[in-house]
């Protein structure tokens, strides 16, 4: 088994750097892809050969001229366009009003279109429901063929059921009008979003690697595996967001509502796991941050269930989610700032780095609201920066944690060996207390008392049985016992010895007995005091057992006025197995100490000290 573990350690040390290099290569590829990503989502997929010329109005307002580059809000009410489509030759020369069999493609960002040619019937174009236009919820390309004569004016009614989040939707639609040339058009749109989709797929592959490492680290009990899990999940949902926010997603995955749902959930879960990652690093402010993250998770669950049980569109919950997430972000940012201020660790910069996505979300929210740009542009770049830093950090933590896990295994083996030694120590202690001559003497005393004083013989049998039960009962006990229990065992032993040595005096001062001590600790010390101290006196003698506490420790003092002995003779523990066992058990089980002080002709003191912190 140890050889197998060593092989695992060697394998990990050899291949983790390789994994790191592979991930860094993938990161470099990711950055190269990003160089090809444009900030505006709806730039023309093909060179525009057709454009709409005419007027527009918002709601029932006044008609205004459509001017290229002039903003038309899509969140102030329904917008009506009237005019005609005009066609340009490939060299840019004006051809005239377009009517033909080739459909015209429109980029729709959470809007739906209703087309009216002259006095004809309105035709609703809705990607989810061709008969009813108010359910539009997603980003897609739609097509319509205009066949009536050039003299007919075309009206396009643009409806935004959400009234937020896509301020530039009409600008993007007008700037990206193109001929729908079938497969070639779809390929052109897909190519435009290919770089971002590939970046997302790359991130998902990286996430799978890290989640695999996290799973393996859980199996070998690596301490920091929670951070690896969080990092892997962050990257997984970020990669999903990259894919589903790329151009041409409606051609890549046809269900627009599904695309919108996956995009929203990936964004929510990315921020949730990012918040949990920040919580991982917090220490003194965890009591504030932890309830915040829990409430954020509950809110996300509500946003998930609400569209299922009500008629609310999932997209309509985004604005509430953003408000909740930003409130949580504010709390986490202040917690991180406080941690940064009070922390003296060399890794205090973690608290600044992990807040990048929080600030990025706030910037993207404001920019989207003002119509400066749409989508998580800043969030994507902030994620790339954080991804690079976090990758280095996690790869650094993994070998450190493996070493820690390996050391933990070694300590576990040491503990097992130590427990075995302690078990042997307890057996040795017990056997040293139950010497044959002690049993013989006690049985002899019982025999005599049965003839001379049967009631006293019965009392002696009772104490002897209690004494044996205490010794055998503690044989398999690996834990300390209360001092009050230990003293009960001591009293049973003393009651036996009083029968043999009635002129000896035993006193107890139990000022404190509500603390733990290894079993069979005080009784053998009292027995040594009788055997080596009082029995060598001409007669009598006193043993006093005192238990008390100080500000930092619990103490047990056993003192006698026997003959005393030379303490230097105790240096060789091999001749004093009982005392050695007591010392070892005190040290290992309660971090206690045993001190002996003896003066020839005066007596002996044995002091046991157990720290309160144990």
Residue 418 pLDDT: 65
Q: Per-residue DSSP letters for 94-109?
A: EEEE--SSS-EEEEEE
More confident residue, 159 or 220: 159
Question: 385-397 as b/e, with b when 16 or more CB fall inside 10 Å?
Answer: ebbbebbeebbeb
- Of residues 344 and 29, more confidently modeled: 344
Token pair of 561, please? Answer: 């006025």
Q: What is the pLDDT of residues 580-609, one digit of tens each?
A: 778 888 888 888 999 999 888 889 999 999
Per-residue pLDDT at 245: 85
| CA-angle at 443, arms to 437 and 444, nearest 5° | 85
pLDDT > 70? residue 17? no
For 440, residues 6+ apart whose C-beta sits below 8 A from its C-beta are none
- Given phi > 0 = left and psi -120 to 50 = alpha, else beta, which region is 87? beta
Read off the pLDDT of residues 440-494 as tens digits, 9 standing for 90 and up: 666 766 766 676 667 777 777 777 777 776 666 555 566 788 898 888 888 888 8
pLDDT at 594: 92
Beta bridge partner(s), residue 87? 50, 96
Give the pLDDT confidence of 51-88 residue by residue, as tens digits: 899 999 998 899 999 998 888 988 888 999 999 998 88
Confidence label for 556 from pLDDT (cuts 50, 70 and 90) = very high
Distance CA 532, CA 62 (A): 115
Q: Mean pLDDT throughout 224-230?
A: 79
Rg (C-alpha) for the chain, rounded Å, is 42
**423-432: average pLDDT:** 52
- Are 266 and 240 in contact by the 8 Å Cβ rule? The answer is yes
Mean pLDDT, the chain, as a whole number? 77
C-alpha to C-alpha distance for 449 and 443, rounded to whole angstroms? 10
Q: Which CATH architecture has domain 434-611?
A: 2-Layer Sandwich (3.30)
Answer yes or no: are the C-beta atoms of 357 and 379 closer than 8 Å: yes
Contacting residues for 575 by C-beta, under 8 A, at least 6 apart: none
Using an 8 Å Cβ cutoff, are 392 and 350 in contact?
no
List, for residues 347-383, the tens digit of each pLDDT value: 666 777 777 777 777 777 776 666 666 666 677 767 7
Please give the C-alpha separations between residue 283 and each of 205, 278, 290, 345, 400, in angstroms, as whole numbers. Answer: 32, 10, 10, 12, 21
Candidate ranges 12-16, 31-35, 64-68; pick with highest mean pLDDT: 64-68
| Inter-residue contact 42 to 176 (CB < 8 Å) | yes
Residue 148 scores a pLDDT above 80: no
State residue 40's pLDDT score.
39
Give the position of tokens 């890549």. Answer: 252
Six-digit token pair at 384?
């790339």
Q: DSSP of 285-322, one letter per residue?
A: THHHHHHHHHHHHHHHHHHHHHHHHSS--GGGGHHHHH
Is 124's pLDDT higher than 60? yes
User: How, if at all, do strands 542-549 and 505-510 pair?
Assistant: parallel
Q: How far is CA 418 from CA 81, 307, 422, 423, 425, in A?
A: 86, 60, 6, 8, 10
* pLDDT recorded at residue 58: 92
Token pair of 20 as six digits: 């790191």
CA–CA dist 332, 328 (Å, integer):
6
| Residue, of 460 and 128, whose pLDDT is higher | 460
Beta strand pairing call for 64-65 and 139-144: unpaired
pLDDT at 129 over 50: no
Model pLDDT, residue 368: 67
Give CA 590 to chain center in angstroms. 33
374, 166 Cβ separation under 8 angstroms? yes
pLDDT band at 509 (very low <50, low <70, confident <90, very high): very high
Query: Could you please report the per-residue DSSP string of 38-68?
Result: -S-TT--SS---EEEEEEEEETT---EE--T
Categorize the per-residue pLDDT at 46 as very low, low, confident or very high, splitting at 50, 70 and 90.
very low
The residues, any chain, with a CB within 8 Å of residue 227's CB and separated by 6 or more, are 277, 280, 394, 397
Q: What is the pLDDT of residues 231-280, one digit of tens each?
A: 889 889 988 988 888 888 888 777 777 888 888 888 889 889 988 988 88
Asked if the model's pLDDT at residue 43 lies above 70, the reply is: no
Lowest model confidence (mean pLDDT) among 2-16, 193-207, 582-596:
2-16
Measure CA 56 to chain center.
Answer: 53
pLDDT at 547: 93
Least Cα distance to 97 among 84, 83, 106 occurs for: 84
Judged against a pLDDT cut of 80, whether residue 502 lies above it is answered with yes
pLDDT of 543 reads: 92
pLDDT at 282: 86
d(CA 206, CA 31): 14
Percent of the chain at pLDDT > 70 equals: 71
CA distance 7 to 420: 28
* Rounded Cα–Cα distance for residues 282 and 35 (Å): 35
The pLDDT, as a whole number, for residue 377 is: 67
Q: Are 515 and 610 in contact (CB under 8 A)?
A: yes
Q: Determine contact, residues 588/422, Cβ cutoff 8 Å.
A: yes
- pLDDT number for residue 513: 84
Tokens of 236: 């997984």
pLDDT of residue 375: 65
Average pLDDT over residues 185-211: 85
Checking if the pLDDT of 133 tops 60, the result is no
Concatenating the DSSP letter of every residue in 390-436 gives HHHHHHHHHHHHHHHHHHHHHHHHHHHHHHHHHHHHHHHHHHHHS-H
pTM: 0.57
Query: pLDDT tier at 128 (50, 70, 90 boundaries)?
Result: very low
Of 67-81, 378-392, 512-526, minimum mean pLDDT range: 378-392
Whether the predicted pLDDT of 132 surpasses 50: no
SS3 of residue 41 by DSSP: coil
Are 523 and 493 in contact, with CB atoms under 8 Å apart? yes
Residue 148 has which token pair?
Answer: 């009536």
């Amino acid at each position: 088994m140890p050889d197998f573990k060593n092989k695992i350690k060697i394998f990990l040390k050899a291949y983790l750097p390789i994994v790191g290099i592979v991930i860094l290569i993938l990161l470099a590829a990711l950055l190269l892809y990003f160089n090809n990503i444009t900030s505006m989502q709806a730039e023309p997929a093909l060179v525009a050969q057709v454009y709409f010329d005419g007027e527009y109005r918002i709601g029932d307002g006044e008609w205004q001229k459509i001017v290229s580059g002039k903003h038309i809000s899509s969140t102030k009410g329904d917008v009506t366009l009237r005019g005609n489509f005009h066609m340009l030759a490939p060299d840019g020369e004006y051809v005239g009003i377009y009517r033909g069999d080739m459909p015209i493609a429109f980029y729709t960002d959470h809007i739906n279109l209703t087309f009216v040619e002259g006095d004809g019937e309105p035709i609703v174009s809705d990607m989810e429901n061709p008969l009813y236009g108010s359910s539009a919820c997603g980003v897609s390309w739609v097509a319509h063929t205009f066949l009536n004569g050039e003299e007919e004016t075309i009206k396009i009614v643009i409806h935004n059921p959400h009234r937020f989040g896509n301020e530039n939707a009409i600008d993007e639609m007008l700037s990206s009008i193109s001929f729908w040339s079938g497969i070639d058009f779809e390929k052109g749109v897909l190519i435009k979003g290919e770089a971002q989709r590939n970046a997302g797929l790359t991130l998902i592959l990286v996430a799978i690697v890290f989640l695999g490492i996290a799973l393996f680290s859980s199996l070998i009990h690596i301490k920091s595996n929670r951070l690896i899990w969080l990092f892997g999940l962050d990257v997984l949902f970020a990669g999903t967001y990259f894919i589903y926010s790329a151009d041409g997603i409606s051609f890549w995955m046809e269900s627009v509502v599904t695309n919108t749902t996956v995009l929203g959930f990936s964004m929510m879960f990315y921020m949730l796991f990012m918040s949990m990652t920040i919580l991982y690093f917090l220490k003194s402010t965890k009591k504030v941050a932890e309830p915040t993250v829990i409430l954020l998770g509950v809110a996300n669950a509500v946003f998930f269930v609400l569209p299922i049980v009500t008629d609310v569109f999932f997209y309509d919950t985004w604005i509430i989610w953003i408000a909740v997430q930003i409130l949580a972000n504010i709390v986490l940012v202040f917690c991180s700032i406080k941690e940064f201020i009070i922390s003296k660790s060399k890794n205090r910069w973690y608290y600044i780095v992990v807040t990048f996505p929080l600030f990025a979300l706030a910037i993207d929210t404001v920019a989207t609201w003002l119509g400066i740009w749409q989508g998580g542009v800043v969030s994507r770049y902030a994620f790339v920066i954080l991804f690079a830093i976090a990758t280095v950090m996690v790869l650094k933590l993994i070998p450190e944690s493996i070493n820690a896990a390996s050391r933990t295994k070694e300590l576990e083996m040491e503990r097992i060996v130590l427990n075995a030694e302690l078990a042997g120590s307890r057996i040795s202690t017990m056997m040293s207390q139950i010497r044959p001559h002690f049993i013989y003497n006690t049985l002899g005393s019982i025999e005599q008392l049965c003839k001379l004083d049967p009631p006293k013989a019965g009392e002696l049998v009772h104490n002897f049985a209690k004494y044996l039960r205490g010794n055998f009962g503690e044989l398999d006990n690996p834990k300390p016992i209360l001092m009050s229990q230990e003293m009960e065992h001591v009293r049973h032993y003393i009651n036996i010895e009083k029968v043999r040595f009635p002129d000896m005096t035993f006193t107890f001062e139990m000022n404190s007995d509500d603390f733990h001590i290894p079993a069979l600790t005080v009784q053998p010390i009292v027995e040594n005091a009788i055997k080596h101290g009082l029995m060598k006196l001409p007669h009598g003698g006193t043993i006093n057992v005192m238990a008390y506490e100080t500000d930092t420790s619990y103490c047990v003092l056993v003192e006698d006025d026997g003959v005393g002995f030379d303490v230097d003779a105790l240096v060789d523990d091999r001749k004093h197995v009982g005392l050695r066992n007591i010392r070892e058990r005190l040290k290992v089980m309660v971090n206690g100490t045993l001190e002996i002080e003896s003066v020839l002709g005066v007596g002996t003191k044995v002091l046991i000290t157990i720290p309160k912190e144990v």
